[in-house]
Chains A and B, each alone.
Chain A
Amino acid sequence: MTPRPVGGSHGVFLVGWLVGSLLIGFILAPLVGLAATQSPEVLAAVAAMPDVREAIGLSLVASFLAAALASAAGVPLAYVLARGGFRGQSALAAFIDLPLAVPHTVAGIALLLVFGRRGMLGGPAEHLFGLRFWGSFAGVVVGMLFVSAPYTVNAARLGFEAVDPRLEQVARTLGFGPWRALATVTLPLAWRSVMIGMTLTFARAISEFAAVAILAYYPMTAPVKIYELFLEQGLSQSAAVALLLLVVSLALFLIFRLIAQGRVGAGSDR
């Protein structure tokens, strides 16, 4: 249960609410403004445009894939970071956060140098496997993955850290091997954090513009499409697509959050 303010701390809470309301208003105002300027008719018309639907669909699929890849590689890494106890652990944790600190145009250029046609990974991948990143769906996923993967790693690491390692030890002494103990005790207890991390990764991936636009302008994701519409047809068309993307991504974000919160969290033992 959340403790209620007592003994004169009401004033602190009041100031907290007042100042916090400014921030809430600041976040809410552009979103409400965006929604208020659009009529349902324009929204329906834009939603019916094949290239818009294609861009939103591509954004959704690529973001799902980025979140899935981030969790496939990031959750094991998060476990190692939470439990490893090795030298350089905190340096590695800080390194994982690097994409959050790099301007995304810089990230896009760096990705282009590595995954581009003559990049050290892009060239061999195209030559050996026919896998092209520059201007392709794979490039979109790579751009999204680079900027969003830290969210999964960080949230999962916090989740694993919150699970008492002694529970795993107890599971081992009860007869479960290390993998089974991980799968039946630690992962279910850290699941909520992993889901929150994946949700944040998905949200960050679907909103990415710069890194994706530099590495793979085509096929167009929704943010790139909005940018192009803004340049070519002005604010009204681009705002309508922006609202559509906002509604779709917010709805998915809420669904994921609800799924994550529906699970039993770690550290609930009294």
Chain B
Amino acid sequence: MTVPILEMERVAVRLGAFALRNVSLALAPSEILVLIGPNGAGKSVLLETIAGFHAPAAGCIRIAGRDATRLPPEQRRVGFMVQNYGLFPHLSVAANVGFAIRARRGAEGVDVGKLLERFGVAALAKRLPHDLSPGEKQRVALARALASRPTLFLFDEPFAVLDARTRATLRDELRQFLRDAKLAAIFVSHDQSDVHILADRVAVLHDGALQQVGSVDDVFSRPANRHVADSVGVENILSGAATRRLLPETPDATLCLRAEDVDVLPGDVRRESADGAIWLEAVVRDVVRLGPVARVTLDCGFPLVAALLRPEANGLSERTPATVRIPRASLHVLSGAGAPRD
């Protein structure tokens, strides 16, 4: 069996009033995990703990099979990429990359020039970081991190301050780099498109505790609790008593339903279908265009949000009657009131 590149077992970290609690996580070689969660959830603290900046009060961290729980950051071989890439502003591009070679025993044979060429930034060798575009900065930062021969990359929202277009370009470039280099990475993000484009798996952190770790489909369609549902942007979270018509009878149920799983047809066209889909009578309350997709809010006796392509072309506009079709398989029930994990 392949040794995981990172293993965390019940890791606890206390930082003033905040605590990471019982974090257990494993990362396979060349796997990309995207870590999401609300502000203050502890995503950066978790990355910093893996990098070695916070000593765990309990638990164990292994990196490439080696116990790293008490190792200082400089001995962990972890590439750490921060917002705006953390290039040293007083050093040229070549000196930034050379810095990593000077620092790391075993990296003496690494050629700065060849690394810069590999990342297409050799012509910028003498420039200072403030003269570089975001794309150039990313390439220099990757070259620098690679020079120190990391076994694992940690990215703490490197795209947070970029415009949407640059962000998309750099994300594609980064994805290609990680795939080509076959390097494992943990990527902290607030942007769900980062999850869909980069992640092999996704982990959701809330209030210092991991709530769910799984495939993107699994976590997005079947969130473990209300916090995960909020973090992955489930648009329809319905609480109440389920009747037998919809689900097995439950007195206190929370239902999750993604907007893209809601079908909306104009007029009253309810029918029975063999797949046991749920049909509801509705009125369109609001249509908001979000680029190619529109967010349509419906009144079915309770509010329901659907994501539809060109709703107007299908005769759906404000105050028009409609029929909602919900495939039974797309309904996800949270047990209890969707209580978070500790």
- Chain A residues near B (Cβ < 8 Å): 164, 166-167, 169-178, 180, 184-185, 188-189, 264, 266-270
- Asked if B79 is an interface residue, CB under 8 A from chain A, the answer is yes
Chosen A-B contacts, 13 in total, with CB atoms closer than 8 Å, are: A166-B83, A169-B73, A169-B82, A173-B73, A173-B74, A173-B78, A176-B74, A177-B74, A264-B89, A264-B128, A268-B90, A270-B129, A270-B132
- Asked if B104 is an interface residue, CB under 8 A from chain A, the answer is yes
Q: Is there an interface contact between B80 and A177, defined as CB atoms closer than 8 Å? A: no
Q: Is there an interface contact between B90 and A264, defined as CB atoms closer than 8 Å? A: yes
- Asked if B144 is an interface residue, CB under 8 A from chain A, the answer is yes
Number of chain B residues whose Cβ lies closer than 8 Å to a Cβ of chain A: 33
Pick from B90, B144, B150: contact of A189, CB under 8 Å: B90
A87 → chain B closest CB, angstroms: 10
B189 → chain A closest CB, angstroms: 17
A3→B107 CA distance, assembly (Å): 45
Q: Is there an interface contact between B100 and A172, defined as CB atoms closer than 8 Å? A: no
Collect the chain B residues with CB atoms within 8 Å of residue A264's CB: 89-90, 128
Pick from A164, A178, A270: contact of B86, CB under 8 Å: A164
The stretch that binds A, out of B46-54, B194-202, B292-300, is: B46-54
Q: Is there an interface contact between B82 and A175, defined as CB atoms closer than 8 Å? A: no
Q: Is there an interface contact between B129 and A166, defined as CB atoms closer than 8 Å? A: no
Collect the chain A residues with CB atoms within 8 Å of residue B130's CB: 268-270
A176→B79 CA distance, assembly (Å): 13
Q: Is there an interface contact between B89 and A169, defined as CB atoms closer than 8 Å? A: no
Q: Is there an interface contact between B100 and A269, defined as CB atoms closer than 8 Å? A: no
B34-76 vs A, CB cutoff 8 Å, 1 = contact: the mask equals 0000000000000010011100000000000000000011101
Measured CB to CB, the nearest residue on chain A to B78 is A173
Q: Is there an interface contact between A269 and B80, defined as CB atoms closer than 8 Å? A: no
Collect the chain B residues with CB atoms within 8 Å of residue A178's CB: 72
Q: A169-B80, A172-B51, A264-B128 are in contact. List 17 more A-B contacts (CB 8 A).
A: A167-B86, A169-B86, A170-B88, A171-B99, A172-B53, A173-B52, A173-B76, A173-B80, A174-B100, A174-B148, A175-B104, A175-B148, A176-B103, A184-B99, A267-B89, A268-B90, A268-B128
A185→B53 CA distance, assembly (Å): 17
| Given A175-B105, A184-B99, A169-B84 contact (CB < 8 Å) | no
Which interface residue of A164, A170, A189, A264 has the most chain B CB atoms within 10 A?
A170
A148 → chain B closest CB, angstroms: 28
Q: Is there an interface contact between B86 and A188, defined as CB atoms closer than 8 Å? A: no
B263-305 vs A, CB cutoff 8 Å, 1 = contact: the mask equals 0000000000000000000000000000000000000000000
B211 → chain A closest CB, angstroms: 26
B147 → chain A closest CB, angstroms: 8
Which interface residue of B78, B82, B107 has the most chain A CB atoms within 10 A?
B82
